Structure 1
Amino acid sequence: MREIKNILVAIDFNETVGDLLSYAEALALKFEAKVWVVHVAEPNPDFVGFEVGPQYVRDVKADELREEHRKLQTICDTFFDESIEREALLIQGSTVETVVEEAKKLQSDLLIVGTHKHSFFHDLFSENVSLELLKKAEIPLLAIPIDED
């Protein structure tokens, strides 16, 4: 069995984040691993080929990113036992590619993601992030089914 020293947890800001982090916490305690909690924010408009716009638009986006990072840090500090080494990362980019790239950079041994239960038609016509991560990640992936009732 592979040694687990770095666990990457990719989260959205929703009510189910605790479910994912409880799995991460249990595994981190068992293996004495570090946990990286990652949230991927939307890329900057100029990154995806749009005009940047006036300065106030950039300032608003910067404020939103700072708030998301504070929220991510609070989640990281709230949900984990203090003995667990952990770090919160907010990264802008395309979700799947960014998570896969970050997992490589951090030398992650395990990737934990939530998987949403949707109808067949929803899955057929939308990007399923956890499925794409399963296809592209080069490390073991733990997909936790989550209900958003």
Structure 2
Amino acid sequence: MKKVLIAIDYHPISEEVVNAGYDLAKKMGAEVCLIHVLADVAYYGMQYQPFLGYEGYNETAIDLNVASEMREVAEDYLDKAAAHLNDEKVGKHLAEGDTARAILDYAEKWPADLIVMGTHSHSFLEKLFVGTVAAQVLEKTKIPVYMVPVKK
């Protein structure tokens, strides 16, 4: 194993995931890259037009400043997460879109030998109706996945 991709989000458990993934990568002498995925950034900056007293969806009114700010915040987060490891060789990748798909796409493109992810404690209904990113990655990956079980 030469390349380890560690997926992180804004949840505090990401620190445990990063530490576990980095320790594993170092034991294998592998290169490390942190990946963070923003959902479709356009949605962060949507402006809504009221109709029937409801703030409705207007797909043409995207506030590009908000989307740009969201990218800057995410890039800063990745920079700080990488700095936490105190290893200037750690790579960073910011992706946008569906989280599971973006992780899988970048893992193949980079190409990663291992994906490291954390497991959040989701409710039964949330898992049933939405699924989890970890479950989606596990279902579709061709690359081994190292799951870091983290409970609240």
TM-score normalised according to structure 2 size: 0.83
1:17 aligns with 2:14: yes
2:81 counterpart residue number: 75
1:64 counterpart residue number: 70
- Checking the alignment, whether the CA contact within 8 Å between 2:41 and 2:70 is kept in structure 1 is no
- Checking the alignment, whether the CA contact within 8 Å between 2:100 and 2:137 is kept in structure 1 is yes
Aligned length: 138
- Checking the alignment, whether the CA contact within 8 Å between 1:9 and 1:37 is kept in structure 2 is yes
Give the 3-state SS of the residue equivalent to 1:90 in structure 2.
strand
Aligned match for 1:51, one of 42, 59, 63: 59
Aligned match for 1:119, one of 113, 117, 123: 123
Consecutive unaligned residues in structure 2, runs of 5 or more: 44-57
1:86 aligns with 2:90: yes
CA 1:146 to 1:52, structure 2 compared with 1: closer, same or farther past 3 Å? Answer: farther
CA 1:111 to 1:119, structure 2 compared with 1: closer, same or farther past 3 Å? Answer: same
Consecutive unaligned residues in structure 1, runs of 5 or more: none
1:7 aligns with 2:11: no
- The code of the aligned residue for 2:112 comes to S
- Checking the alignment, whether the CA contact within 8 Å between 1:25 and 1:81 is kept in structure 2 is no
1:130 aligns with 2:134: yes
Aligned match for 2:27, one of 22, 25, 30: 30
2:48 counterpart residue number: none
List structure 1 runs of 4+ shifted beyond 3 angstroms.
none
| C-alpha separation in 2, matches of 1:61 and 1:52 | 14
1:110 aligns with 2:114: yes
CA 1:58 to 1:24, structure 2 compared with 1: closer, same or farther past 3 Å? Answer: same
- Checking the alignment, whether the CA contact within 8 Å between 1:42 and 1:94 is kept in structure 2 is yes
RMSD value, Cα = 1.8
Return the offset for 1:117: 2.1
Return the offset for 1:87: 1.1
- The code of the aligned residue for 1:36 comes to C
Deviations 1:10-47 (A, max 9, x none): 1111211111111112122112211110010022438x
Q: Percentage identity across aligned positions? A: 26
> Which structure: larger Rg?
2
- The code of the aligned residue for 1:40 comes to V
